[in-house]
Amino acid sequence: MKIENSNWSHRIVVLLLVGFSTVVSAESMFVPVGTAEDIQYSQQLWDAMVQERIEGEDRRVNPPFFGGAKPHGEILELSYQNLVVGGHTGFIVVKRNYGTVGAPGVRGHVTVESVSVDRNKYLNSITVMYQREDGYDEANQNWFWAKYQPGGELFTKAIEGKKTQLAGRLLKGKQQQDNSGCIYCHSSAGGGDYVFYPQIIP
């Protein structure tokens, strides 16, 4: 009886330990995003984009086209090139998303023509992926992800119950099934480079 008892408590301890370590590893799988470093880097990246006239008042424009795939905008504009940020040369893809998918009165009203006439009026967000230095995120080809508002401010979103600026390794860990994760969704792009458009070759 005594032996059985201690067996039981031993088992409970083991179960508790297993349970605890599962929680711990799930916690540690989540890579923090929107950190001070991420925000600072996103600003540095934005400044480089303005300097190279990818964004900003003197930006070089590219032809808008109809995209319409969720979750990005309805009318889209792409820029891609090499860009130097803090001495590192990396490939950048910038996607301007015009119109809000699903917003009442927008779908079907924002057209390539209307965007061409007044881009500022319809610009909703600027989604960016930039290939950082080796070691930044080896498992995901070192892409840095950010979602900017038209003026260069970051979008925010509640992540893990916390209002978070959208910049960094978005998102790794717990919320993989959350379809707002850039990495999760873009990992299904053909060629394994996280880029959907076949004409864009990092």
CA distances from 188 to 20, 135, 140, 195 (A): 32, 22, 12, 9
**Shortest distance (Å) from residue 125 CB to ligand HEC:** 8
Q: Using the rule CB under 6 A, give the single segment among 52-60, 105-113, 130-138, 194-202 that binds ligand HEC.
A: 194-202
> Judged by CB, which is closer to ligand HEC: 93, or 115?
93
Is residue 182 at the binding interface for ligand HEC, with CB under 6 A as the rule? yes
Question: 94 has which bridge partners?
Answer: 79, 128
Is residue 201 at the binding interface for ligand HEC, with CB under 6 A as the rule? no
**Interface residues for ligand HEC in 2-61 (CB under 6 A)?**
none
**Interface residues for ligand HEC in 80-119 (CB under 6 A)?**
93, 95
**Shortest distance (Å) from residue 149 CB to ligand HEC:** 12
Residue selected from 33, 75, 159, 195 as contacting ligand HEC according to rule CB under 6 A: 195
Is residue 147 at the binding interface for ligand HEC, with CB under 6 A as the rule? yes
E-strand ranges in the chain read 65-66, 75-85, 88-98, 123-131, 143-148, 156-159, 162-165, 167-168
Terminal C-alpha separation, the chain: 68
CA distances from 179 to 14, 58, 159 (A): 35, 34, 12
Q: Which residues contact 92 (CB under 8 A, 6 or more apart)?
A: 45, 49, 54, 79, 80, 81, 82, 83, 128, 129, 130, 131
On whether the CB atoms of residues 82 and 89 are closer than 8 A, the answer is yes
Is residue 144 at the binding interface for ligand HEC, with CB under 6 A as the rule? no
Place of tokens 């923090």: 32
Residue selected from 69, 103, 139, 201 as contacting ligand HEC according to rule CB under 6 A: 69
Residue selected from 83, 85, 115, 170 as contacting ligand HEC according to rule CB under 6 A: 170
- 29 CB neighbour count, 10 Å cutoff: 11
Is residue 140 at the binding interface for ligand HEC, with CB under 6 A as the rule? no
> Judged by CB, which is closer to ligand HEC: 22, or 89?
89
Query: Under the rule (CB under 6 A), what is the footprint of ligand HEC?
Result: 67, 69, 71-72, 76, 93, 95, 127-129, 145-147, 166, 170, 179-182, 185-186, 189, 195-197, 200
